[in-house]
Amino acid sequence: MKHTITAIYLMLCTTLLYAQSGFNIVSRPGDKRADITYNGQLITSYCYYDSIAKPFLYPVNTIDGITVTRGYPIAPRVGERTDHPHHVGIWLNYESVNGIDFWNNSTAIAADKKHLYGTIRHEKIERTSKSSNKAQLVATANWYNNQGAHFLKERTIYDFKIQNDVVIIDRTTTLTALKEPVVFKDVKDGFFAIRVARELEMPSKEPGVFVDAHGNKTKVDPSSGNNISGMYYNSNGVKGDSVWSSKAPWAMLKGVKDNKDITIAIFDHPGNTGYPTYWHARGYGLFAANPLGRKVFSNGKETLNFSLKPGGAVTFKYRISIASKNMNPSEVEALSKDFQKR
């Protein structure tokens, strides 16, 4: 009887937490996540599961509960893609950091190749705060190679807010080199990214084969069907597949899901290295800003090979907005100008 009363009490407490108006953050260390809600609706969770090689935000929902991220590999949905298992929710990492591939690491990597890949391990949630229209979560993590060597320290601030029914997530990440220099070689796969739901992919008739830095191939089938509706646009008027390898302060992906118009936009910040960023935006659902892969995206016309000296630090700021409405370029530009002031 005592255990039953305790269980009911805990259930009521949880219900009250989620029912409160405005933002709320519920830490669930036993589940290795913290839930960010708004008016009782889950917006996203900060996750640091053992099975995924980095912290990430997942799932990601609009204010009215439409999930814009792919379910696989955590909660696969019928009919969605199962390529690139390292594409999970919203995340930040890179393909070549001192020769170690953090981007492509997943449970799909063979044991004899694991030494080529790295893991970002969550350390702690440093603090959280919340109000009616804003919330903040600050977390730290460490970048390791497969042998356990630790050469980068990460501190990330996630700022969440709702503005005109648009979910806005600002990520500020500071990376600090430890005892040795750290080199981010110019490569294709990076840096700040979201993997979107099947309905938000771009329609395509041709299959694709994508190869990581170590020669591992991933095949991607064509996207077709009445429910495939995505289209990329950048702030310079570039559209569709041409957004890949274009350079612009922001880009957006529009489509339809659950009978609602969806607009997802990613914003670069003028204080970032490599501003304005190149866009690593793929029709199959990967939407990413990569400011560090300049040699790849410029066909060799530019080279960066960004590096940090021992003890040196760099800060990157990105914004992503998620809305269940069709936003026009002027509305997205306003969000960009607001972000540039931060």
Q: Which two tokens stand for residue 256?
A: 């339809």
- Which pLDDT value is given to residue 306? 98
CA atoms within 13 A on the CB side of 273: 22
Question: Domain 64-340 has what CATH class?
Answer: mainly beta
Token reading at 194: 């979201």
Q: In this structure, what token pair is assigned to residue 225?
A: 């069907």
Q: How far apart are CA 196 and CA 174, in angstroms?
A: 26
Residues 139 and 125: beta-carbon distance below 8 Å: yes
Cα gap 278→286, rounded to integer Å: 14
What pLDDT score was predicted for residue 266? 99
243/228 Cα distance (integer angstroms): 18
**Would you write out the chain's pLDDT as a tens digit for each of its 342 residues?**
444 444 444 444 444 444 568 999 999 999 999 999 999 999 999 999 999 999 999 999 999 999 999 999 999 998 898 999 999 999 999 999 999 999 999 999 999 999 999 999 999 999 999 988 999 999 999 999 989 999 999 999 999 999 999 999 999 999 999 999 999 999 999 999 999 999 999 997 666 665 665 666 676 676 666 699 999 999 999 999 999 999 999 999 999 999 999 999 999 999 999 999 999 999 999 999 999 999 999 999 999 999 999 999 999 999 999 999 999 999 999 999 999 999
- Token digits of residue 153: 């320290």
pLDDT (0 to 100) of residue 217: 64
pLDDT score of 43: 98
Q: pLDDT at position 79, please?
A: 86
Rg value, the chain, Cα: 20
- Give the Cα separation of 194 and 266 in Å (integer): 9
Alpha-carbon distance of 204 to 227, in angstroms, equals 12
Question: Does the global pTM surpass 0.85?
Answer: yes
